[in-house]
Amino acid sequence: MTEITNTFLGFELGSTRIKATLIDEAGHPVASGSHAWENKLVDGVWTYDMDDVWSGTAACWSDLAADVARRFGAHLATVAAGGFSGMMHGYVALDADGELLAPFRTWRNNITGDAAAELTDLFQFAIPQRWSIAHLYQAIKNGEEHLPRLSHLTTLAGYVHWKLTGRWVMGPCEASGMFPVDPRTGDFDAAMVTAFDTLVADREFPWRLRNVLPEIVPAGETAGTLTEAGARLLDPRGTLQSGIPLCAPEGDAGTGMVATNSVRPRTGNVSAGTSVFAMIVLEKSLSKLHPEIDIVLTPDGKTVGMAHSNNCTSDFDAWIALLGEAARTLGADVTTDDLYARLMPLALEGAVDGGGVVSYPYVSGEHVTGFSEGRPLVVRRPDVPFTPATFLRSLLYSSLGALRTGLNILMDEEGAQVDEIRGHGGFFKTPEVGQRIMAAATRSRVSVMETAGEGGAWGMALLAAFTTRGDRSETLADYLDRVFASSSVSTVEPTADEIAGFAAFFERYTRGLAIERAAVETLP
């Protein structure tokens, strides 16, 4: 069996799947691998076991290598460059030996409300509950015993990169989801770092904040090489060689921008799956502080306004699973793919305003609308026809309700301009349906590229390839324009009726938040 070498590797540890993508020099995907996993709620904290990180990553690598063998009759022993991504934010706290000091706390947790609010006021900069600094300060406020031993604060992607290379580094977008980054310097905001150190000075910790945060390495630069120990973590069977150059780790927001060619001002993208977030590359800074809006950076350091919702498709997926169980109980032979392919298009036949049905898909808390925990529910008016089509449309509308709350701030209050929204993620897997629903919700043209299904792992592979470009003066935006020049794009324009229909639904959704609040209070 021969070997293939001149390819680029991207890994992404997402919320429900670990995926690996291999691309060629032109940026085209040539092989892929995946491994399903899921978070756990342990003692009130959403987490993943770090043993599952490595068993899952190795399983994904094995699946990728098997795909290469099937397609090319070749061993996958090395690549020209690689990169690793993961779900952004969260809390990975380690001691000087790299040992975990507390269970990994994911982006999904809404347990840092007091800390996030206090830091937002201190910095006059929005600090969401998901961000690493909010988790750190909440741990300090809670008096957690591990803090004096803190040596490194990072994210899942940063942790994986360190285990593979021995370097504590991070890309600009991922770093900006830990602590505010100054786009002028490309480093963590020095004044805010000093303000934080002053805030906790009375605790007399043996560390200062900048010393425990990672080094920021921008797109286009190499950020370490795969060690022998790292190669064995990925490939315990021993085929993978060490010495592969890796770019800086990025989060799923950064890889989403790359995978949709959305790194120039006035471009925007929506990543919709377990969570949903819209990102608009800004032409100017926001006029004032908005706690609901994240300010992060592109992988090459431009300012981005992000409207983020913790909950998107999880509850919809649960309903599809329930309907599938019902169908199979009645003797139907249907697969999960069949269910999505047949039921999602039905949603477009439902009442354009959701027909008096509204749901709250809050599997977890939702910071944009003010919930630290959630209770999925459906409520409807009794005087309106209740049909499968309208029910499905309302579920899809509801999955974007919190997102629309954030976009109202960016687009209506701040006047952020975007020429089109580029979509990616599972929400868009069924042709046209997700696009039409998203277009109605965002009041924007929504485009989906033929490569949208490749997702963040492909975006990470492109960042890896960008480090090896021949012309070092070429910008990331120009490089992506070359890659996407021949891509096929499907575009949907929302109709006036669809925009008006979603607006009517959104008014009910907003009024009904009191129902969700009552559910949280009465169903502990």
pLDDT given at position 469: 92
pLDDT given at position 485: 87
Six-digit token pair at 491? 């575009």
pLDDT higher than threshold 70 for residue 243: yes
User: Is residue 213 a part of any domain in this protein?
Assistant: no
Cα–Cα distance measured from residue 27 to residue 22, given in angstroms and rounded to the nearest whole number: 9
pLDDT tens for 403-454 read: 999 999 999 999 998 888 999 888 988 889 999 999 999 999 999 987 666 6
Cα–Cα distance measured from residue 413 to residue 178, given in angstroms and rounded to the nearest whole number: 26
User: What are the CA-CA distances from residue 274 to residues 80, 338, 393, 408 (Å)?
Assistant: 32, 20, 18, 22
Confidence (pTM): 0.85
| Average pLDDT over the chain, rounded to an integer | 94
Higher pLDDT among residues 273 and 251, named by residue: 251
Lowest pLDDT segment from 3-7, 14-18, 124-128, 276-280? 3-7
User: Is residue 47 a part of any domain in this protein?
Assistant: no
Into how many domains does the chain fold?
1
pLDDT given at position 431: 87
Tell me which range, 72-76, 197-201, 257-261, 408-412, is most confidently predicted by mean pLDDT: 197-201
Six-digit token pair at 306? 């992000």
User: Is residue 437 a part of any domain in this protein?
Assistant: no
User: Is residue 430 a part of any domain in this protein?
Assistant: no
Six-digit token pair at 49? 């076991």
Cβ(353)–Cβ(380) below 8 Å: no
User: Is residue 277 a part of any domain in this protein?
Assistant: no
pLDDT given at position 452: 61
How many residues would you count in the chain? 524
pLDDT tens for 55-64 read: 999 999 999 9
User: Is residue 368 a part of any domain in this protein?
Assistant: yes
pLDDT given at position 153: 98
User: Is residue 107 a part of any domain in this protein?
Assistant: no
User: Is residue 307 a part of any domain in this protein?
Assistant: no
pLDDT higher than threshold 60 for residue 257: yes
pLDDT tens for 10-27 read: 999 998 899 999 999 999
For 293-309, what is the mean pLDDT?
94
pLDDT tens for 99-150 read: 999 999 998 888 999 999 999 999 999 999 999 999 999 999 999 999 999 9
- Domain carrying residue 351: 314-398+497-522
For strand 45-47 and strand 40-42, is the pairing parallel, antiparallel, or unpaired? antiparallel
pLDDT higher than threshold 60 for residue 1: no
